[in-house]
Structure 1
Amino acid sequence: MWLLIVVASLAFVINLRVLYYYVMMHDNLAQNINLTPDVLKHEYQMLISYLNYPWITELNLKIPMSVQGKHHFAVVKKMFFICYSLLVILIPINYYNWRSLRRKKQFVLLIRPFSCYFQLVLLGAVFWLFFFNQVFIDLHKIVFTDKSWIFSPITDPIILVLPAKFFFLAGCCWLVLVEGITFGLLKFFKVQ
Structure 2
Amino acid sequence: MKNIYKIIVSILMCAIIILWSILFTIKFKHIYYFSIDKFKIHSDSSLEKYEIKNNYNYLIDYLTSNNTSEFKLPTLSSSPEGTHHFIEVKNIFYFIKTAFYVCYFSFICISLFLLSKGIRILKEALKLSSIFLLSLIGSICFSFINFQKSFDIFHNIMFKNDYWMFYPEKDPIINILPEGFFALCFFFILLLIFINSIIMLIFSRNSN
Q: Same fold (TM over 0.5)?
A: yes
2 CA distance for matches of 1:190 and 1:5?
19
For 2:189, the equivalent position in structure 1 comes to 174
Aligned residue in 2 for 1:6: 18
Moved more, 69-78 or 33-42: 33-42
* Structure 2 residue 205 is the aligned partner of structure 1 residue 190: yes
Identity score, percent: 25
Q: Secondary structure at the match of 2:70?
A: coil
The residue that corresponds to 2:148 in the other structure is: 133
Cα RMSD (Å): 1.7
Alignment of 1:1-192 (within 5 A): 1-61=13-73, 62-99=75-112, 104-110=119-125, 111-125=127-141, 127-192=142-207
> Residues 17 and 36 from structure 1, CA distance in 2 versus in 1: closer, same or farther, beyond 3 angstroms?
same
Deviation string 1:84-137 (CA, Å, 9 cap, x unpaired) is 111221221122334456653312432235313311222112x13212111111
How many equivalent pairs are there?
A: 191
Q: Is the 8 A contact 1:101 1:107 kept in 2?
A: no
CA distance in 1 between partners of 2:145 and 2:32 (Å): 22
Structure 1 unpaired stretches of 5+:
none
TM-score by length of 2: 0.85
Distance change in 2, residues 1:97/1:187 (3 Å): farther
Q: Cα 1:150–1:34, aligned 2, differ >3 Å: closer, same or farther? A: same
